[in-house]
Every structure is written in structure tokens, then in C-alpha cells.
Amino acid sequence: NVKCSTILLASKAQCGVGRSVTYVRWSGVAPETAKPVFVYSASGEEQSLAGACLARCRELEECAAVVIAYGRGNCQGIADQTSAKLKVDNDVAFFKKVCLALPDECSTRWWMLENTPGYHLHSEGSHLKVILNTTIYECYDAVFAYNGNKKFRSAQWVVPQSEFDPDVIYTSDSLVGNCILNAENRFTEPESYRVSNYYTVYIENQCRHDSTCLLQKRNPLKPRIQCKSSCEQSELFICRGFTWISREKVKGGGERGLCDLHSEDLITTGSWLLRRISSATYYRRVVCLNSDPCT
């Protein structure tokens, strides 16, 4: 077992031997209070607001996390708080810096885990493994361990209800709960992904990427094919889909437009994510049922 004392926030110290700086993305929540380290507004020149903000925080030792407001086009790096209250906020993304032992094939990922409080994967069987009395950081490490020939796609960290305050969500470094490792996740078993209470945190491994394909129109135009390829080949994060926004038609029947890659989809956020735009087409990834291309 990995001792809790060896799992340090990256802002407090350099990562130990075999560990690297990365982020854990928390979905649907943000810190109730925070001490800003920096504020960054998108210039329009960067390829990704998230990429620019996470890189800035990675460079600053005093930066422990990043809150990104995509709708407002800005972000802020925040200082460390070992026990911070989180509030529900679906308009921002919260990334917490951590030190983890990362698989070599996933060293380029912007974040390695995604946490969703208030959800769980209701499944049973031999693909589960339960580890009692662990911190959430020990649960993170366990996600990347091998289960025979299988890797764990997800986990659930459950805090005893006697130690839980139903009015707030805590990210305490020392709080002890139980870690339930799972060889499946919400994409391989979407019908098992259900609402729970906030004493349960669903944790998803962002290193591995199951065989999926993008639903698309038949005979798409070349720029859309390039956008699709960018999504399928993304190594910075798991691309769950993309939006193509047509800008102008060009001679020869082609088109130009804006390609937005998405790390979330309707399973992770619900239908509220979608906005009606007359010139936009949204494409999402689905699990491939056979070897034929999805159309």
C-alpha cells in the first residue's frame, strides 16, 4: 500500500521518484472560496483555453488548482487548501494539481482522472475490487494498478455517511473512505451510471480509451474529416466528440469553419450542454459494436 504521506499536492513539493505532475478534473463543482494566484483571459490566439491555463499553473509552485470559466473565456489559478469546500457550479471546470505514478503511454494527457461527485456506477461482478480505509489519493493510485490482465477504467470513493456533511462537498487530503475499483466505466456501461449522494465520488481513468467511433453524416466534407481525425487522434485529452461550425463556403463545394473538440458529452453533462446554433453540427463518439465504421 502507498502511504498517505508520500502522496503530496504538486504545489507543496516536487513529485517523488516515479511520480509526475498532472491534474484531476472535478466535474460540476468549484471551490466555495479561493485565493487567486493568477488570472488569465483568452486572447483568441491560443488553441485551447484549458491548455494555456493548465500549463501556466504547472509552472507555478504556489498554484495548486485551476478554475476555468469557458463561457467567460477566462481562468484563475488558486493557492493550496488541504480541506476545501466545493459548491455545485456547472459553468466552470475545476482542475486540481496532483502527483501520480503515470503510465508511460499517457504522459501527454493534460489530466489523468476525472471526478464526478454525486454519481456512481451500479455494477456487480468479478471486475470489482474493494479497498477499505483509503484516502482519495490512494484510490487514485489504485486506479492505475493492474487487475490481472485488466486495467481499471473507473473507481468510486465512498465516505462513511457518519463523517459526511450533506450540505457541502469536501476535498480533504486526510479524509478516509472506501475505494471500489471497476474494470468498466460509464461509457462501457452507460445504463449503470446513476445519480447518488455527495458522499460518493465517481472517478474515471482518463489514460485508457476504449474502441469508439464518431457518429457522422455520410460523405462528409474534407474539413470535417480533418476535424474528426483531430478528435480521434487527440493525445492531450480523451475527445468525446466535436462541433463543426460552418463559417463560409469556398469554390468547388468545400467549406471552412471552426472545429471544437470536446472532453465531455451527453453522458457526462446531460442535454443542457447542447445549444442550438444554425451553422453548427455536433458529432459524438459511441462504443463500436463491430468493426464496421460508424455512419
Mean pLDDT, the chain, rounded, equals 78
Which three cell numbers mark 262? 470536446
Q: How many domains does the chain have?
A: 2
Q: Kindly tell me if the per-residue pLDDT of 212 is higher than 60.
A: no
Handedness of CA 164, 136, 152, 216 (dihedral sign): positive
| 63, 98 Cβ separation under 8 angstroms | no
Which three cell numbers mark 276? 442550438
Whole-number Å distance between alpha carbons of 196 and 117: 8
Please check whether residue 67 lies inside any domain of the structure: yes
**182 shares its domain with 242:** no
Residue found by looking up cell 476504449 in the block: 210
**64 shares its domain with 112:** yes
Last residue of a domain, one of 172, 205, 238: 205
**130 shares its domain with 266:** no
Please check whether residue 11 lies inside any domain of the structure: yes
pLDDT digits (tens, 9 = 90+) for 16-30: 888 889 999 998 888
**147 shares its domain with 33:** yes
- Closest by CA to 136, choosing from 121, 119, 158, is 158
∠ CA 34-36-41, rounded to 5°: 120
Q: Kindly tell me if the per-residue pLDDT of 187 is higher than 90.
A: no
Last residue of a domain, one of 177, 205, 233: 205
Phi, psi of 190 (to 5 degrees): -60, -30
**231 shares its domain with 198:** no
Whole-number Å distance between alpha carbons of 8 and 173: 9
**19 shares its domain with 82:** yes
Whole-number Å distance between alpha carbons of 195 and 120: 6
The pLDDT score that the predictor gives to residue 149 is 67
Neighbours of 38 (CB within 10 A): 16
The pLDDT score that the predictor gives to residue 133 is 95
Query: What is the value of pTM for the model shown?
Result: 0.77
Phi, psi of 272 (to 5 degrees): -65, -20
**150 shares its domain with 29:** yes
- Closest by CA to 267, choosing from 154, 187, 184, 185, is 187
- Closest by CA to 284, choosing from 188, 208, 213, 186, is 213
Tell me the pairing of strands 93-100 and 65-69: antiparallel
| 134, 176 Cβ separation under 8 angstroms | yes
Please check whether residue 29 lies inside any domain of the structure: yes
**Residue 196: CATH number of its domain:** 3.50.4.10
**246 shares its domain with 106:** no
Pick from 21-25, 56-60, 274-278: least confident: 274-278
**170 shares its domain with 249:** no
Please check whether residue 292 lies inside any domain of the structure: no
**137 shares its domain with 218:** no
The pLDDT score that the predictor gives to residue 85 is 81
Please check whether residue 9 lies inside any domain of the structure: yes
pLDDT digits (tens, 9 = 90+) for 137-173: 999 999 988 766 678 999 999 987 755 565 667 767 7
Last residue of a domain, one of 205, 222, 239: 205
Boundaries of domain holding 29: 4-205
Please check whether residue 226 lies inside any domain of the structure: yes
Please check whether residue 293 lies inside any domain of the structure: no
| 155, 180 Cβ separation under 8 angstroms | yes
Neighbours of 244 (CB within 10 A): 23
Q: What is the DSSP letter of 192?
A: G
Residue found by looking up cell 465520488 in the block: 201
**200 shares its domain with 216:** no
Please check whether residue 275 lies inside any domain of the structure: yes
Range 195-223 average pLDDT: 71
**137 shares its domain with 216:** no
